[in-house]
Chain A
Amino acid sequence: MPRITVTVDGITYEEEVEPRLLLVHLLRDRLGKTGTPVGCDTGNCGACTVMLDGKSVKSCSVLAAQADECDVVTIEGLGRAGELHPMQQAFHAEHALQCGYCTPGMIMAAIDLLRDTPDPSDEAIREGLEGNLCRCTGYSNIVRAVRRGAREMSGETPAPATGGEVRTS
């Protein structure tokens, strides 16, 4: 069995893996990283999205063996020193999740989207998140959240949240 060394959320693991073991199953079943869920078996839903060496991948479409010598960041390792990542904060503020099943993958994909396009248009956000499916939200608030996350990550002060009622702060 191949032996791999992989860093996940800052901790380095040495694991013996079957060649066919999927990265998402390594994360979930072996390393207890259950923050990353599985939503399909054809690479369509994006629920399993993680960062692999800084780029988003669908961890159900990557073999654990391919992650040898790689650095993996999951939703659990996203916030630093106990602080929420601005994108996590933005999803909360804009009510961009309901059941939350798609959320870890959606947040990872959104962060990756901003790497290439720091100030995306609504259309670019919608196109950029095409590989991440959400059945609950209808996406409107996800688009708002990504916009908000983009503003915060670029250091701008965020405008008040756009959803729901007029707010005072």
Chain B
Amino acid sequence: MTEQLDAGLVGRQIAESDQLGDPKDGREVGRARRRKEDARLITGRTTWTDNIQLPGMLYVAFLRSPIAHARITRVDASAARARPGVVAALTGRDFADEQGSLPCAWPVSEDVVIPDHPPMASDEVRYVGEAVACVVATDRYKAVDALEAIEVDYEPLEAVLDMTEALAEGSPKVHEAGNQAFTWKFSGGDAEAAFRDAPVVIDRTYVQQRLIPTAMEPRAVVATTDGGSFTVYSATQIPHILRVMLALTTGIPEHRLRVIAPDVGGGFGSKLQVTAEEVLCLLLTRRLGKPVKWTESRSEGNLTVHHGRDQIQKISLAAERDGRIRGVRVDLLADMGAYLMLVTPGIPLLGAFMYNGIYKMDAYDFRCTGVFTTKMPTDAYRGAGRPEATFAIERTVDELAHELGMDPLEVRRRNWITHQEFPYATIAGLTYDSGNYEAATDRAMALLGYDKLRAEQADRRDRRDPVQLGIGVSTYTEMCGLAPSRVLGSLSYGAGGWEHAAVRVLPTGKVEVVTGSSAHGQGHETAWSQIAADALGVPFEDVSVLHGDTAIAPQGMDTYGSRSLVVGGIAVLRACEKVKAKAAELAAHLLEASPDDVEFSTGTFAVRGTSEGKTIQELALAAFAAHDLPEGFEPRLDAEVTFDPENFSFPHGTHLCAAEVDTETGMVRIRSYVAVDDVGHVVNPLIVEGQVHGGIAQGIAQALFEEAVYDSDGNLLTTTMADYLIPSAADLPDFVTDRTETPAASNPLGVKGVGEAGTIASTPAVVNAIVDALRPYGVNDVPMPCTPERVWRTLAGAAPPGSTAAGRGGAGESEGGER
């Protein structure tokens, strides 16, 4: 059986099962279509970057610093060059004239310090894992073998690990300019006034531990050249941005560079980067004239894929005794790691507009200090700044409820924006266009059986049950659809937030949709097909979606920040509408009618009140043949659109987590987890549900399992999957998910984006549940990840139930009280 026939059969079987979920109204949008992408993924026909083999290909391995901070006094790669199969062994000095500095596209403030960041270090290393040399050999085993023949002498310098100490007078410096990367301030209203004489003030400090994004596909790069131009394949989320940045970094002209993101196995922000390895592989193919490939091992990835989170959040909330919030103040320390990478300093600031959450208040004050340490740089990880903000406000509102002896949902009700109040201009300067927090919360409470669980909780408390029950609440919103270009400009970001789409109706009536959005698991091929099928009145099967290659989709801003549907999907819709306008003009000409009299319905353009019409397929052929076209009509049925959104979108929802905490062992078990999300109208409910599931899992993982741990010398201890614990199926509960729907007002599909919602919502829901379970023990915080040991230690230092001792938190300074 030939491969092609085989694929055809597989395609048919898949098409059959796709009949599931027939829409009532014949529309594709809103239908639970099975994904087009699956055919290749479930049969192993995927093109991961590491699958790519080219004639004469060479393999690259990097030697990495074993020391957090050191001066490099000598590197000698000559012995490695003599090893069998080795084509080249190179050091930082060899690249000095051509490697440039890895880019930071977000110089957030006037005072920002952007240190030089050579892809390969030659003078000083500033984190464990920084590349200091490389070997290029005829196979991957030989390349790795030869690394051991490279000699490097280091003169150790002091590691800088703690943010507070790093900012103190006399701290060893990561960079000559000092350890402060930037300061950034933002305020709305009069915080002074809001806090003055406030009846209740809650002060808390929360630690957002450092996380390792851990996309399942390790990074990989293939670079090749024909002598004049270059192609880089990379497991990246951002082929378009990467192309521009590689050109700017290496000086290779942009028009001689093609970047391809083939099938990409997850990203979660970690592949939103311009990496040392991408630059160096490009330079190596130029130098050697041969295709080169580098694929990281997981341990190499844990060290050198940018990390996420790592902030210390001081938050103060002032309120009335009836629970009304007067104001919030936030003072943030954000660990940049050793360098500012693509959007490193901007990440904490993406949260700056979200610490007010869904609540009304009179004043808000935010300041952030970026700090250099001798660790792997941080950058975007699912939610990027917004999970941190949501965690802080949702934890603090629970603390307020506790302080006032109120139900956490009641405090929220007293403060949230009611559904009649939209559009609502928040204290952080954003305009929330739509939402209904009441509806989502009511639904979530019903699905969880909130009142019944509260009764069980009371009972367990009365019985002094060693296994206590807690209910965690998280009523979140987030800003999605990054982003209006003018807003990005006002935040000093180096690029815009538009997206591009092209739609072509081919002579045979089939449709190609070209998108600048670069999917890596999100299902764009399916969702964009649904949008185009409805808009053009063509069958879903007749649409194919092209993306991820700068030669095929030359313009784009790529995929991150829950932006694909809200920006890229709308661009597709707009391009379809342009095509339709052209088709209508052609139809009117051919039918000898006035364009105003031509109506479009399900793929046919007809003269109003007659049965005369032309299908879009007939019109495509007529345009191609070009025998009889209106004056000035170009002989093709296609259109391009670049769409820049006017506002962000604001998905929201209520997540409730019921957790059992064994007070004797510290073990936490999530008993039930309910998520009711409002992501606006939905293009494909199956994909939306999947995104929510995966997001919740990653948020729970931050709450319970994951932490990148460095020792006191700056060595990463969690380098393998045996040490850095991403959850398995056995670690997670089933999730109950549902949706409420208030359409976004800012786009014609009414969609809001869903990629990050689950992650943003779930972490505080889980920690709130744990703290809620342990309130009788005087516990008011457990530091993340809430491992059995952490929970147990917190309890061991806490007061027994019934005593009147002061509250106890695990995360340092933590106090609440009446003033």
Contact = CB atoms under 8 A, between A and B. Distances in A.
Are A and B associated in one complex?
Answer: yes
Interface of A: 18, 20-21, 25, 28-29, 32-42, 44-45, 47, 74-76, 78-79, 81-84, 88-89, 91-93, 95, 97-104, 107, 122, 125-127, 129-143, 160-161, 163-165, 167-169
A41 B299 contact: yes
Contacts of A98: 266, 521-523, 690-691, 694
Q: Is the interface of A mostly helix, strand, loop or mixed?
A: loop
Interface of B: 1, 5-6, 8-10, 13-14, 17, 19-22, 31-32, 34-35, 37-46, 48, 50-51, 53, 139-141, 214-218, 263-266, 268, 295, 297-299, 520-523, 684-687, 689-691, 693-698, 720-722, 726, 728-730, 732, 734-735, 758
Contacts of B14: 84, 92
A137 B698 CA distance: 10
A42 B44 contact: no
Contact of A42 (B43, B698, B720): B720
Contacts of B697: 137-139
Nearest to A42: B720
Contacts of B687: 95
A161 B46 CA distance: 25
A21 B521 CA distance: 31
B44 A140 contact: no
A33 B140 CA distance: 17
Contact of B217 (A18, A37, A42, A97): A37
The 7 closest A-B pairs by CB, nearest first: A35-B44, A100-B41, A99-B521, A101-B265, A138-B697, A138-B693, A164-B32
B79 to A, nearest CB: 22
A135 B726 contact: yes
A47 B216 CA distance: 8
Contacts of A129: 728-730
A41 B297 contact: yes
7 contacts: A34-B51, A74-B44, A95-B34, A99-B217, A134-B216, A139-B729, A143-B734
B490 to A, nearest CB: 34
A86 B758 CA distance: 30
Given A29-B53, A136-B216, 14 more contacts: A28-B51, A34-B50, A35-B46, A37-B50, A42-B722, A101-B265, A103-B41, A130-B729, A136-B690, A137-B693, A138-B732, A139-B732, A164-B686, A169-B20
A159 B817 CA distance: 55
User: Which of B42, B53, B298, B758 counts the most A-chain CB atoms under 10 A from its CB?
Assistant: B42
Given A28-B51, A138-B696, A140-B735, A99 B520 contact: yes
A45 B694 contact: no
Nearest to B30: A165
Given A42-B721, A133-B726, A82 B10 contact: yes
A129 B264 CA distance: 23
Given A136-B521, A165-B21, A100 B9 contact: no
A80 B107 CA distance: 56
Contacts of B19: 169
B689 A164 contact: yes
B314 to A, nearest CB: 31
B732 to A, nearest CB: 6
Contact of A76 (B31, B44, B729, B734): B44
Contacts of B9: 82-83
Nearest to B687: A95
Contact of B521 (A100, A122, A131, A168): A100
A20 B42 CA distance: 30
Contacts of B299: 41-42
Contacts of A38: 50, 218, 295
Contacts of A78: 43
Contacts of A89: 13, 17
A91 B38 contact: yes
B44 A165 contact: no
A79 B45 CA distance: 13
B46 A135 contact: no
Given A139-B732, A140-B734, A93 B20 contact: yes
Contact of A100 (B8, B31, B215, B263): B263
A169 B21 CA distance: 7
Contacts of A32: 53
A130 B730 contact: yes
Contacts of A169: 19-20, 22
A53 B686 CA distance: 36
Contacts of A127: 729-730
A130 B726 CA distance: 11
Contacts of B139: 29
Contact of B729 (A18, A107, A142): A142
Contacts of B758: 138
Contact of B43 (A18, A25, A88, A143): A88
A91 B758 CA distance: 22
Contacts of A45: 216, 298, 721
A107 B691 CA distance: 20
Contacts of B521: 98-100, 136
A109 B14 CA distance: 22
Contacts of A74: 44
A1 to B, nearest CB: 13
A154 to B, nearest CB: 19
A143 B733 CA distance: 11
Contacts of A82: 1, 5-6, 8-10
Contacts of A164: 21, 32, 684-686, 689
Nearest to A158: B17
Given A95-B34, A98-B522, A165-B685, A44 B721 contact: yes
Nearest to A139: B729
Contact of B42 (A81, A107, A126, A141): A107
B32 A163 contact: yes
B76 to A, nearest CB: 27
A132 B729 CA distance: 8
A129 B50 CA distance: 25
A59 B190 CA distance: 62
B161 to A, nearest CB: 25
B20 A161 contact: yes
B42 A100 contact: yes
Contacts of B728: 126, 129-133, 139
Nearest to A98: B521
B529 to A, nearest CB: 15
Contacts of A36: 44
Contacts of A29: 53, 139-140
A164 B35 CA distance: 13
Contacts of B31: 165
A34 B220 CA distance: 14
B43 A133 contact: no
Nearest to B2: A82
B38 A92 contact: yes
A88 B42 contact: yes
Contacts of B265: 37, 99-101
A91 B721 CA distance: 25
A29 B687 CA distance: 33
Given A44-B722, A95-B687, A99-B520, A34 B44 contact: yes
Nearest to B382: A135
A25 B10 CA distance: 27
A141 B693 contact: yes
A122 B729 CA distance: 10
Contacts of A103: 41-42
A40 B270 CA distance: 16
B754 to A, nearest CB: 12
A125 B729 contact: yes
Contacts of B685: 164-165
A101 B722 contact: no
B299 to A, nearest CB: 6
Nearest to A102: B216
Contacts of A21: 141
Contacts of B694: 98, 135-138
Contacts of B218: 38-39
Contact of B720 (A37, A41, A81, A137): A41
